[in-house]
Structures are given as C-alpha cells and as structure tokens.
Amino acid sequence: MDIVSTQQRKKIHPHKFTLWVAMASMIMMFAGMTSAYIVKSNQSGWQGVEIPKIFWASTAVILVSSLTIQMALRSFKQRAMNPYRLLMGITLGLGILFIVFQWMGFLQLWYQQRVTLKGSGAGQFLYIIFGLHALHVIGGVVALLIMFVKALVGKVKQYSAVPVELISTYWHFVDILWIYLMLFFFWAG
C-alpha cells in the first residue's frame, strides 16, 4: 500500500502538466517574436523606440505581486484562510494595477507618436509582444478574481492546494516573461 501511495505522490497532476505544456508553447511564441524583432531590426529603415518609464513601475508591481501570491499559497497550505484571502486580494489588486500601468504606457507612446501602426520599426513589435503579454496577464487576473471570490464566499471542504498552485505558477510565469521582455527591449531597443 505504501508503494502505491508513494508512486501516486510522484505523479504530476494532469492540470499542472497541461499548464506546463501551455507555458512551453507561450515561451516558444514569445521566443519566435523576439527573434523576429532581432532579424527585422537589422533591416534598413528600422526605427527604435524608448520604453516609457511607467513600464518599469509596472515591473515593480508585478514583482511584488509574485511575492504576495507566493505568500498566499503558503497561507493556503497552512490553512490560514484570512491571510490567504487578504494576500489573494492584494495580488488581484496588483495585477489590475499592472494592467493600468501598461495601458498608461501605451497611451504615452501613442500620444508622443513614437509608436504607430504604420511604417517599420520597434513600435509594431511593442504593440504585438506587449499586447500579447497583456492578454496573458488579463487571463491571470480573471483567474485571480475567480480564486479570490471563491476564497471569500466558498467554504473549503477539501484543502486541495492544486488550484492555488496552478494560479501561482502561472502568475510567476507571466512575471518572469515580463522581466524577459523588458530586458530584451531595454538591450535590443
């Protein structure tokens, strides 16, 4: 009996496996787009763009949100539901703040007419790459909202940490992806 339960604990949960496969495909997509950026940036007529400072502020926000979601996961595993609820709410608020900062950054670029949809240059790549990242963050914020509402109104009958682990892993992923993108555009921009 002990052998069977040990083997079952070593298996990865199907939802975790699916998440890892999805994240691997997202990594490939963003790697392909940043590779295309490098190739296109060597062509004549290329116009670079300076990243707005608000994007650096959004980086700080998403880094703090990674810390709060990790603390929320730890609280959930310790069955400390009040701190878990508070930390999930803070993470949700930080996720929304990240999106607001992103929107403000794109408006700043648009109004400065530094990034347009016409022509050739880094602007189109910024819109596509950062926009796709924003869609992934919005998906994460929706998941955080669902988890937060469940934490507030739902009664926990089974303390399965899998859903919290999934959102935590995904949130760390979008955080790391954002850092990669910021550093990429900082050095390649």
DSSP string for residues in 3-62: HHHHHHHHSPPHHHHHHHHHHHHHHHHHHHHHHHHHHHHTSTT----PPPHHHHHHHHHH
The tens digit of pLDDT for each residue in 170-188 reads: 999 999 999 999 999 888 7
The answer to whether residue 79 sits within a structural domain is yes
What is the pLDDT, as a whole number, of residue 154? 72
Confidence at residue 113, expressed as pLDDT on a 0 to 100 scale? 64
The pLDDT score that the predictor gives to residue 186 is 84
Domain that holds residue 75: 2-44+59-188
Residue 51 lies in a domain: no
pLDDT at 42: 84
Q: Answer whether residue 52 is part of any domain.
A: no
- CATH number, residue 92: 1.20.120.80
